[in-house]
Amino acid sequence: MPKSLERQNAARQDVARQDVTIAGGGLAGLALALALRHGLGTDARILVADPAFGRASEAGDLRASAIAAGARHLLEALGVWDRVAEEAEPIRSMEITDSKLADAARPVFLTFDGDVAPGEAFAHMVPNAALQDALTDGARAAGITLLAAGIADFRADGPGIALTAADGTAFAASLLCACDGARSRLRERAGISTVGWTYDQSAIVCTVGHERDHEGKAVEHFLPAGPFALLPLKGRRTSIVWTEASGTTERLLAMPPALFHDELERRFGLQLGALDVLDKPRAFPLGFQMARRFVTERLALVGDAAHAIHPIAGQGLNMGLRDVAALTEAVTDAARLGLDIGGPEVLERYQRWRRFDTLAMGMATDGLNRLFSNRSDVLRLMRDVGLGLVERVPRLKDVFIRDAAGLTGAVPKLMRGEAL
């Protein structure tokens, strides 16, 4: 038999029967693979399938994510945090302003200390590319099979689920996790519908260098078109998430660099000195989407496949990582009792745990965006009074910070820093 065929056959045997198959090797999918390895041990057969594994990464993901303290505990338990720690910038304080674009000053209405506990930042800014690399290296080192093909088809079949990858590989698993993003084909294939809407807003993302230190301060300027967020990165660099009406973002991105720079400076200000745009700005269309169910027979939706929200509070990935921790706990507990890890009890427990929490966070971010992204002077007055009241009640601020840190509600063990 030719060597290439032998290799293909060996690879197919290797993927023939899995305990868990994960469709999607983005941040949520790879974190789930590592968390399940942690919970189920080295004997578990775990496969992650993603067509992107086979592609050379083009520009890569230039975004950075605010990783909340709860999500950091999870990444620590998975041995991933050490791999990104050098690139992670703690958010030491936060300021919220509310003004019109043309206003001469951006008055601060609300401030937060960044610590959720003494010396522990409520969140760190981590470049997505660094996190993706760390998770991929971690998955390889943990013996997780990475298949460079999408999942094309699947059918729940009594004790297992039969799967076909786009390269023709056929195999079976006890549980299929759809981590294939907001436009999940697996969710659609499973007949799970979604509720949602678009915001007619997009977020421009870019990295900006500046002359002076940001001192770990994150700033959110609420402007009538939407929030303009300055998020501190390592060194004298800041990640910008700049929300505008979708037509405006297109115009801004089509501008010559000098004009784009002027528009950026109008919003950013000169408090950190001269600015330098360090990468090619990109726009992400924004919307709200929630799956009507998170599970069906032998299938669980995780991450953006289950929910996609406005980035106004930097919570989308944190919610996905909370799904990861909750599903891992449900699966691990079942495995320890000798139960079927893809059975209805496990899936229902996961859905009960995550669905309400997700809906609450999704509606909160939707409400915030609607309250702040508008030109009404009456609403502006009301929200500024509200912000001023919160500013005067330290206990209320503590509640908000613990919530943003992902440490309130039914927190899964891995996010509390506890062993499974």
Ligand X SMILES: Cc1cc2nc3c(=O)[nH]c(=O)nc-3n(C[C@H](O)[C@H](O)[C@H](O)COP(=O)(O)OP(=O)(O)OC[C@H]3O[C@@H](n4cnc5c(N)ncnc54)[C@H](O)[C@@H]3O)c2cc1C
Interface segment toward ligand X; rule CB under 6 A; list 91-99, 317-325, 348-356, 401-409: 317-325
Structure tokens at 372: 């702040």
Q: How far is CA 268 from the centre of its chain?
A: 25
- Give me the least distance between CB of 320 and ligand X, in Å please: 5
Phi, psi of 144, deg, nearest 5: -85, 135
Q: Does 362 bind ligand X (CB under 6 A)?
A: no
What dihedral do alpha carbons 55, 288, 307, 154 form, nearest 10°?
Answer: -60
Question: Using CA atoms, how far apart are residues 230 and 350, in angstroms rounded to an integer?
Answer: 35
Find the binder of ligand X among 36, 46, 50, 350 (CB under 6 A): 50
State the number of CA atoms in the 13 A half-sphere of 115 facing the CB: 4
Binding of ligand X at residue 127 (CB under 6 A)? no
Min separation Cβ 203 and ligand X, Å: 4
Residue 279 Cα distances to 208, 229, 231, 276, angstroms: 8, 17, 15, 9
Query: DSSP string spanning 231-298?
Result: EEETTTEEEEEEEEEHHHHHHHHHS-HHHHHHHHHHHH-STT-SEEE-S--EEEEEEEEEES-SEETT
**Least gap, CB of 161 to ligand X (angstroms):** 14
| 52 in contact with ligand X (CB under 6 A) | yes
Cβ closer to ligand X: 52 or 117?
A: 52
Nearer to ligand X, 23 or 219 (CB): 23
Residue of the chain from 70, 127, 181, 406 that contacts ligand X (CB under 6 A): 181
Binding residues for ligand X, how many (CB under 6 A)?
33
Whichever of 112 and 334 has its CB closer to ligand X, that residue is: 112
Q: Smaller CB distance to ligand X: residue 44 or 283?
A: 283
Nearer to ligand X, 91 or 331 (CB): 91
Shortest CB 406 distance to ligand X, Å: 9
The least distance separating ligand X from the CB of residue 264, rounded to whole angstroms, comes to 16
Contacting range for ligand X; rule: CB under 6 A; set: 176-184, 213-221, 271-279, 411-419 = 176-184
Q: Is 147 in the site for ligand X (CB under 6 A)?
A: no
- Using a 10 angstrom Cβ sphere, with 0-12 exposed, 13-18 middle and 19 or more buried, the burial of residue 236 is middle
Could you give the 3-state DSSP secondary structure of residue 95? Answer: strand
| Tokens coding 342 | 């893809």
Of 20, 28, 116, 275, which lies in the binding site for ligand X, with binding defined by CB under 6 A? 28
Query: What x/- string results for residues 59 through 88 when contact with ligand X is judged by CB under 6 A?
Result: ----x-xx----------------------
Other CB atoms within 10 Å distance of the CB of residue 215: 9
Block residue for tokens 């206990």:
395
Using the rule CB under 6 A, is 304 a contact of ligand X? yes
For ligand X, which stretch binds (CB under 6 A), given 49-57, 81-89, 268-276, 380-388? 49-57
Q: Which stretch binds ligand X (CB under 6 A): 10-18, 271-279, 308-316, 391-399?
A: 308-316
Give the DSSP per-residue string, 331-377.
HHHHHHTT--TTSHHHHHHHHHHHHHHHHHHHHHHHHHHHHHSS--H
Return the number of the residue (201 or 334) whose C-beta is nearest ligand X: 201
**Binding residue for ligand X, selected from 46, 192, 205, 407, defined by CB under 6 A:** 205
Element (H, E) at 150: none
Candidates 96, 131, 134, 151; binder of ligand X (CB under 6 A) is: 151
Smaller CB separation from ligand X, 39 or 227: 227
- How far is CA 30 from each of CA 224, 276, 336, rounded to the nearest angstrom? 37, 33, 23
Smallest gap from Cβ 65 to ligand X, in A, equals 4
Residues near 99 by beta carbon (within 8 Å), at least 6 away in sequence = 105, 106, 107, 221, 222, 223
Site of interaction with ligand X (CB under 6 A): 23-29, 49-52, 63, 65-66, 150-151, 179-181, 185, 203, 205, 241, 284, 303-304, 311, 314-318, 320
